[in-house]
A and B are shown apart, each in its own frame.
Chain A
């Protein structure tokens, strides 16, 4: 007696390519086995993970100009959230989500700041994590990319240059805008203008009065505040005094915003390395004000 065996047609394997899998960031179709979205170059792992969950992840962006400290801030934030369950706890989803904190803390442990984030979106670190807070029963699924500052400003100056940035910021439920407090403290207003450009771009991105950025939470974080201690005392006052354009713009255009101050390195020094020129190095790691902006943002999203 012959036993019947079910053998799948080889050609059926090709049929799977007929079903397009939308990218979670730009919503455009890709093949099921694509590693990166062919349109915006975001990792397709985010789409696969989102498809397997009941709760769709929300997106938060940490943005700012080049060298403002986005990588250090995000890496330190994730590391702290993963280690202290009492206040707020974050659990990474997917091995790729741990790369950012691993890279950042690894560099800091060697008394170095992490390397510059490349402009190419396919080389950015993405984080997908589940955040639990004592106040809320339901966890929050979050996606946060570590973007390059040059890419953001290239998109601002020439819209649609970086589709991933545009799509991400259109869909973000909240944003952390990092501003270099040390530069502002020196009297240079570059950071003031840069942050105004960012906020102007956001406000024009989604102009819907109800769903637009006018009503979405914006955390304005003065980074490197360890170099100007009084920023911690009154971040709002610091903004009013040292970044008047930014302060005024927020006051007029946005309904939900707050200023914060954060610092990671307790103090820095300048080191001269052969072939690498002079570079700032952290003398000690003393995180301050890292979790507060994120905590505020999460609470705003939950409301």
Chain B
């Protein structure tokens, strides 16, 4: 099926002047055109009015098709009163959207690649329906890796939870809103995605009842939105492990788990997912998938520890284990934890001198002992971050270690893992020594260090949960 186009902007035509549907392709129904006019953004609708600022929008149309659009500020309005707000709308049939895994941003990328969103000085007088070729993967794992590295799994999971449970949601984030919303879309099951209309950069207006919006810098606007009973506001910077969203559950819990474990492909959801799906049903599905995922991770680590790892024909050797994604610890740009210092006196004479001080600078000593591929280095660095963060008392980091450790064990083998484990043990002993010397204020740290050691040394029974 072909995709219709329509331009909504301010112009002077023989019929009217001002903001209107300036031109459109054939085949778009009058009801859809009317809806495009209703949702069309007019003067001063963009949150950020810099030249080149853009908003990506998505909403349903009466015909059953969907509108995927881009709004930009392009030069001066014809009457000389402010900037021209230009919206290029694509009327996408449901089947075409499904071909792109119901990912609106994939549609826009395809349109951009085809040159349909090129900036024209003149408003077009004629538009033709287009065919957008290509498809999209159900989950853009590279994008999720990128966003997870900036925001962390917990914030993304919290965003998903807020989106699922709110009638409408305004999102405040230091990250670019397009990136945040792309991550959100990729964390929703494919079949559920069209249910969530969004705009990454338009001002809130009752005439445009988007379910998801980005919040701008205007404090008066924020206060006004806060007074609306149907609008929830989430500030992603305030989401941390000690707040009320520290333990997401349901589908959001699956998101957190899958992102931490690098198993984000599960977020596409089953193809058999029936519509309409309530939030409760989605949460139930999320819990089931999370259990399955946790079990699969456990089984993978068990197979590896049984010694089949070197057999190229074994299932465990051939099992596809996604490398752990690179992302920063939740809620902080760098862990504020004291790194491993010099070996405890008890162990000082029992190890090579090169290992005794190598952990002072941070990454595990095993990184320096042999050349590693960048993925392995990345994985070990991430494991270091998680272990030390968990030993500082971060419960979400501990949860990540519980998931990550079996994967690392499976990926790198027992020899390299043992070296890292030794480093962690040394650090934990430092923490315990401090606790023994000064129990006040260090009890929690000592307990956290012990919890981490239980995961690392707990044996097969404790791996994977």
Contact = CB atoms under 8 A, between A and B. Distances in A.
Interface of A: 31, 35-36, 38, 41, 65-67, 113-123, 148-150, 153-154, 157-158, 161, 190, 273, 275-280
Interface residues of B, number: 31
B38 interface: yes
Nearest to A153: B16
A202 B176 CA distance: 47
Contacts of A122: 205-207
Which of B20, B75, B207 has the largest count of A CB atoms less than 10 A from its CB?
A: B207
B432 to A, nearest CB: 50
Contact of B207 (A41, A116, A275, A280): A41
A153 B20 CA distance: 10
Interface of B: 10, 16-20, 34, 37-38, 40, 42-45, 51, 75-77, 79-83, 205-208, 224, 227-229
Contact of A116 (B16, B20, B77): B77
A116 B41 CA distance: 13
Contacts of B229: 31
B42 A38 contact: no
Contacts of B82: 115-116, 276
24 contacts: A31-B229, A38-B206, A66-B16, A67-B79, A114-B81, A116-B42, A116-B77, A116-B81, A117-B43, A118-B42, A119-B18, A119-B42, A120-B208, A122-B207, A149-B17, A150-B10, A150-B18, A150-B20, A161-B37, A190-B17, A275-B76, A276-B83, A277-B76, A277-B77
A132 to B, nearest CB: 33
Given A150-B19, A150-B20, A279 B80 contact: yes
A41 B228 CA distance: 13
A65 B76 contact: no
A190 B18 CA distance: 13
A150 B44 CA distance: 14
A38 B207 CA distance: 10
Contact of A149 (B18, B83, B224): B18
A146 to B, nearest CB: 13
B43 A115 contact: yes
A120 B80 contact: no
Contacts of B81: 67, 113-116, 279
A71 B94 CA distance: 43
Nearest to A277: B76
B76 A279 contact: yes
A104 to B, nearest CB: 13
A150 B42 contact: yes
A283 to B, nearest CB: 15
B338 to A, nearest CB: 48
A238 B18 CA distance: 26
Given A38-B206, A66-B17, A122-B205, 11 more contacts: A66-B18, A66-B79, A67-B17, A115-B82, A116-B44, A119-B207, A120-B206, A150-B17, A154-B20, A158-B34, A190-B17
A240 to B, nearest CB: 25
